[in-house]
Every structure is written in structure tokens, then in C-alpha cells.
């Protein structure tokens, strides 16, 4: 898309501009996440979920119709601003499952998130520029020929529309403990009592929300989560750029369709792992130990990426698919463990606000991820002849440094757990 906008003067600069588009979504979400968390705590999880999925329908469609770079940035920013989904969904997953099954609930959330990060680019790889890839089905004079990136966006928007309709049948979890009150007689005294209760509850809410920033088990898990989120978003940005870039620049020279195939295989593997193996590992080792092991294993794996690029044919395809699957399994294991720690660190009536704070911090770091990853990749491609960590070796070295910092932060005294 960035190449078609013709805003980059050199091929090496495409990564930087692509990073700005990716970062605009996260920057918008960072500005509004706490607000959506407070709304979810006040009015329920369900309205925020419906609002978030509806915003995808509108602004994702407009993104596919972007005619220039700045329209793409603006539509992504607006989508991020109006999309407060992830925080309330994490709270919802904790509330709808019993405590012993919360790992399964949150692993489902992180699996959906991880698969989205993978299937999205995969879908784009298969469906972008349909007039070029499938000329028998799509004319160059059609809407899909004039807007070559509209088809994948339209498919996602149609899916989001279906999810929005289905969300109306979701049960609300925030006030489930008050269901017994429905049987009470509606009288003046009851209404007066309820009004007093609401005022009392509002008074109580003000105090704990101030104390969230002093809740170190929560804040420490959010900070660690932010570091790993920075790594994951930078990796996602870099992986697609690296796979698409030519061999002479240290890349794989893969087409968007070939990248899509790799990511589709990875997405299926994530689904199987998170719904079967992760809950079992979490029960045995605990979320922190799983995150540590996954972080440590990620470092040698990423170190191997520049050497994988030296291969060709079946060897390249096989090792790349294996590396992509393992890397994303490790990443989602880390994120799921931190989801669990965050939601265990607060009570139910604080979960929306707590996840809003987490989303704000994470979104700021994730906004830096694509922009930083794209800029790093562009810079690395200009130093292919450097004596120290030339080309893509520098890219994956920097990713490993961020990962190592995250692993170190999972140890005491930095990362704390709530003890009831």
C-alpha cells in the first residue's frame, strides 16, 4: 500500500512510512483506553464491545478506500480512538469463567489477538491487489481494481458486522451479582434505596480508582506487558518487511501471497496450542514461569533469522514456517501469562479501569513498535556492509535486547503478585 501511495522516495524508506500507519492506530487507542475502561466499569462490558466492533465496520472499510498516505493514517487513528475492545474483553473473560478456568479464558483472548495479528496480514496477502492476482474475477476498471486494498478490508468489515450483531446476545457480566434484586417489588422506597446505593457505590468507586496506580502487582505486570508488546509489534512489522524485501537487501523476496501462507499456518498452530497445551502448562508452572521460559527461548530463535534468509527452496520454506510458528507460540504464551496477572491483581469492579490503564500503556509502546521497527529495518538495510551486525542481523539483535529486558523484569523484586 505504501509503495502504491508513492510517498517513499527510496525503497529503503517504505518501512518507515508503513510503521507510521501502524502506529497511528495504537496512538489513537492510547488516548482513549482509560476512558473506555471507565465506561466499561460504569455501564458494563457489553456496550463497549458493541461500540468497538461497530467502529471496525466503519473505519476499516474507509481504510481500504484510502487514496493517499494521510487518509490511511487518519482512518487508522480514528479506528484506534473508538476501539476500546481488548480491555473490556479481558475483564469479560475473567468474569465469565470460574477462577480455575481463567487461564483458558484469557488464553482464548490472547489466541484470538495473536491469530488476528497473523490472519490479518495473511488475508491481506491473499486478497490485496485482486485485479492483478485474479484478473479473471476482478477487472482493473472495477472498484477492486481502483482500490487494490479494499477487498481484504471489506472482508474484515463484513466479519466485524456479524460479530457486532452477535454481541447483542452476549450476557452482561459486570452486575451479575445483583440479579436477585430483580425480584424485589418496585416501590418508592425501593427506588429511593437504590438511588442511595448508587451514590454510595459511586463514592466507593472514586477511591479504588485512585489507588490503581499504587497497586504494584498491577502496575508491574502492566510495565512488563508493555515491554513485550513493544517487541511483538516491532517483530510483526519487521517480519512482513523482511519477508517482502529482496535478497540483495537481506530479505526473503517473498510475495504477499507467500507471506500470507506462512502466517496462515502460524495462525492455525496458535489456535491448537492455546486451547489445549497452554492451560495445562499454566497449571503446572504458573503464568510467570511460562512467560520467562518463552522469553528466554525467543532470543536464540530470533538470532537464527538472518541465517534462515541465506537458504532457498524447500529448506527456506520449512525452516521459516517452523520459526514463525514457534516464535508466535512463545509470544502469545508471554502475553497470556501477563493478562492473567493483571486481572488477578484487581477486584471485579476495577477490572475495566485496570485494563484501560494497561491498554493505554501498551498502546503507546505498540505505537512505537511499528514506527520504531520500520525505521530500524530501513536503517539496517542501509548498512549491509557494516563490520558489526550488518543488515538484518542488527534488526534481530535489537529485538533480542528488548526481549531480554522483558525477561529480566519478570523476576523479583520488580514483578509482584497479589496475595489475598
pLDDT at 165: 94
| Least confident span in 33-42, 65-74, 120-129 | 120-129
pTM of the model: 0.69
pLDDT at 293: 94
Q: Hey, what domains does the chain have and what are their CATH numbers?
A: 9-172+212-408 (1.20.1250.20)
pLDDT in tens, 283-323: 888 888 999 999 999 999 999 999 998 888 888 999 999 99
| Arithmetic mean of pLDDT, 190-208 | 43
SS (H, E, C) the chain: CHHHHCCCCCHHHHHHHHHHHHHHHHHHHHHHHHHHHHHHHHHCHHHHHHHHHHHHHHHHHHHHCCCCHHHHHHHHHHHHHCCCCHHHHHHHHHHHCCHHHHHHHHHHHHHHHHHHHHHHHHHHHHHCCHHHHCCCCCCCCCHHHHCCCHHHHHHHHHHHHHHHHHHCCCCCCCCHHHHHHHHCCCCHHHHHHHHHHHHHHHHHHHHHHHHHHHCHHHHHHHHHHHHHHHHHHHHHHHHHHHHHCCHHHCCCCCCHHHHHHHHHHHHHHHHHHHHHHHHHHHHHHCHHHHHHHHHHHHHHHHHCHHHHCCCCHHHHHHHHHHHHHHHHHHHHHHHHHHHHHHHHCCCHHHHHHHHHHHHHHHHHHHHHHHHHHHHHHHHHHCCCCCCCCCCHHHHHHHHHHHHHHHHHCCCCCCCCCCCC
Is residue 420 very low, low, confident or very high in pLDDT (cuts 50, 70, 90)?
A: low
Percent of the chain with pLDDT over 90: 20
| Arithmetic mean of pLDDT, 256-281 | 78
**Is the torsion defined by CA of 396, 257, 267, 64 positive or negative?**
positive
Residue 184 has pLDDT above 60, yes or no: no
| Least confident span in 147-151, 177-181, 251-255, 259-263 | 177-181
| Arithmetic mean of pLDDT, 216-240 | 89
Residue 181 has pLDDT above 60, yes or no: no
pLDDT in tens, 88-147: 887 787 778 777 676 677 777 777 776 776 677 777 777 888 888 888 888 878 888 888
pLDDT at 352: 75
pLDDT at 114: 66
Amino acid at each position: 500500500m505504501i509503495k502504491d501511495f508513492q510517498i517513499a522516495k527510496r525503497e529503503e524508506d517504505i518501512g518507515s512510512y508503513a510503521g507510521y500507519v501502524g502506529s497511528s492506530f495504537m496512538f489513537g487507542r492510547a488516548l482513549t483506553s482509560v476512558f473506555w475502561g471507565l465506561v466499561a466499569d460504569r455501564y458494563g462490558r457489553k456496550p463497549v464491545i458493541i461500540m468497538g466492533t461497530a467502529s471496525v465496520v466503519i473505519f476499516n472499510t474507509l481504510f481500504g478506500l484510502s487514496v493517499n498516505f494521510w487518509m490511511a493514517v487518519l482512518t487508522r487513528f480514528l479506528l484506534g480512538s473508538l476501539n476500546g475492545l481488548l480491555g473490556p474483553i479481558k475483564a469479560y473473560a475473567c468474569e465469565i469463567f470460574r477462577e480455575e478456568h481463567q487461564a483458558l479464558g484469557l488464553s482464548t483472548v490472547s489466541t484470538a489477538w495473536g491469530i488476528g495479528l497473523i490472519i490479518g496480514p495473511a488475508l491481506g496477502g491473499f486478497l490485496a491487489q485482486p485485479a492483478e492476482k485474479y484478473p479473471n474475477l476482478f477487472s482493473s476498471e472495477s472498484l477492486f481494481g481502483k482500490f487494490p486494498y479494499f477487498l481484504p478490508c471489506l472482508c474484515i468489515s463484513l466479519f466485524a458486522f456479524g460479530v457486532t450483531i452477535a454481541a447483542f446476545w452476549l450476557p452482561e457480566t459486570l452486575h451479575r451479582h445483583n440479579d436477585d434484586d430483580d425480584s424485589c417489588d418496585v416501590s418508592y422506597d425501593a427506588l429511593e434505596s437504590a438511588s442511595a446505593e448508587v451514590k454510595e457505590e459511586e463514592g466507593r468507586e472514586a477511591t479504588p480508582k485512585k489507588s490503581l496506580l499504587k497497586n504494584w502487582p498491577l502496575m508491574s505486570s502492566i510495565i512488563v506487558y508493555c515491554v513485550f508488546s513493544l517487541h511483538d509489534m516491532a517483530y510483526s512489522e519487521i517480519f512482513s518487511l523482511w519477508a517482502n524485501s529482496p535478497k540483495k537487501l537481506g530479505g526473503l523476496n517473498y510475495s504477499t501471497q507467500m507471506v500470507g501462507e506462512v502466517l496462515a499456518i502460524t495462525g492455525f498452530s496458535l489456535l491448537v496450542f492455546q486451547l489445549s497445551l497452554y492451560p495445562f502448562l499454566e497449571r503446572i508452572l504458573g503464568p510467570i514461569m511460562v512467560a520467562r521460559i518463552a522469553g528466554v527461548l525467543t532470543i536464540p530463535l530470533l538470532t537464527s533469522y538472518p541465517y534462515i534468509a541465506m537458504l532457498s527452496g524447500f529448506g527456506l520454506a520449512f525452516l521459516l514456517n517452523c520459526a514463525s510458528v514457534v516464535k508466535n507460540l512463545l509470544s502469545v504464551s508471554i502475553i497470556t501469562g501477563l493478562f492473567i496477572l493483571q486481572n488477578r491483581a484487581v477486584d471485579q469492579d476495577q477490572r475495566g479501569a485496570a485494563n484501560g490503564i494497561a491498554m493505554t500503556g501498551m498502546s503507546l509502546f505498540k505505537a512505537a513498535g511499528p514506527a520504531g521497527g520500520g525505521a530500524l529495518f530501513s536503517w539496517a538495510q542501509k548498512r549491509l556492509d557494516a563490520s558489526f551486525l550488518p543488515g538484518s542481523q542488527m534488526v534481530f539483535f535489537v529485538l533480542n535486547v528488548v526481549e531480554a529486558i522483558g525477561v529480566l523484569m519478570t523476576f523479583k523484586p520488580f514483578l509482584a503478585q497479589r496475595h489475598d
